[in-house]
Amino acid sequence: MNILLYHAGLVPQEQAMLMTNQPFDNFDVVLEAMKCLCNLVFNCEHARKLCGHNHAIEAIMMRLRTYRDPLLPHEIKFFDMRMLFVMTAFQPDIRPRLKEELHGLTYLMEILDLIIKDASEEEDRPQNSTPVLVDNQVQLASEVLKVLFNLTCKPGVPDEEEDAQLLRLESILKELLLCDTDP
């Protein structure tokens, strides 16, 4: 499991900082490791617990900060979100940590903002027209929304900070709903 985590780039923060200074261009290895990890986490309770209590979630959240990088393949972003979804679906005990300590709502909403912004800035789109989401943007947005659902579906009254985040999420969702999709 640790070998897969290493090859997926899901390493502790200190090691990730060292790796950031090195150029990384073998995204195929990262992608295949992420696919394996997603399957393991989906099918094996022991793997879920291991990934839920080590550095995997923190590493994914660190990688979220690099999603603006055009060199980071869509598939890696997709499997990062798939992993977070599976982890939050099967292990509700990690939701508070992801939401509060790791600021998951904020980073996930920024990804949705980025998707909408990228769709709005397409060069061949007429000015003042509705943004058009392509298939990979729709897939990534769907995975992000599934994670956001898992993080926000708790009973109770939200506090002021969470209320503000939910209002921001509401406006992002409105923008997302108004987008067209690629036929």
Tell me the pLDDT tens digit for each residue of 44-70.
999 999 998 888 999 999 999 889 988
Instruction: Note the pLDDT of residue 24.
Output: 59
Asked whether 147 and 84 are in contact (CB, 8 A), the reply is: yes
Please check the confidence at residue 120 and state whether its pLDDT lies above 90: no
Does the pLDDT at position 26 exceed 90? no
The SS3 of residue 55 is: coil
Spatial contact of 76 and 7, defined as CB atoms under 8 Å apart: no
Residue 21 pLDDT greater than 60, yes or no: no
Question: What confidence score (pLDDT) does residue 135 get?
Answer: 94
Q: Which two tokens stand for residue 119?
A: 């769709």
Main-chain dihedrals φ then ψ at residue 180, nearest 5 degrees: -90, 165
Half-sphere exposure of 165 (CA within 13 A, CB side): 18
Element (H or E) spanning 181, and its range?
A: strand 180-181
Provide the pLDDT confidence category of residue 22 given band limits of 50, 70 and 90: low
Mean residue pLDDT across the chain: 89
Tens of pLDDT along 134-158?
Answer: 999 999 999 999 999 999 987 667 7
Rg (CA), the chain: 17
| CA dist list (Å): 160 to 24, 155, 167, 176 | 41, 15, 11, 24
* Entry pTM: 0.89
Tokens of residue 126, six digits = 């007429």
The CA-based diameter of the chain, rounded to the nearest angstrom, is 51
Per-residue model confidence (pLDDT) at position 128: 66
Q: Which two tokens stand for residue 139?
A: 């897939």
Give the pLDDT score at 129.
78
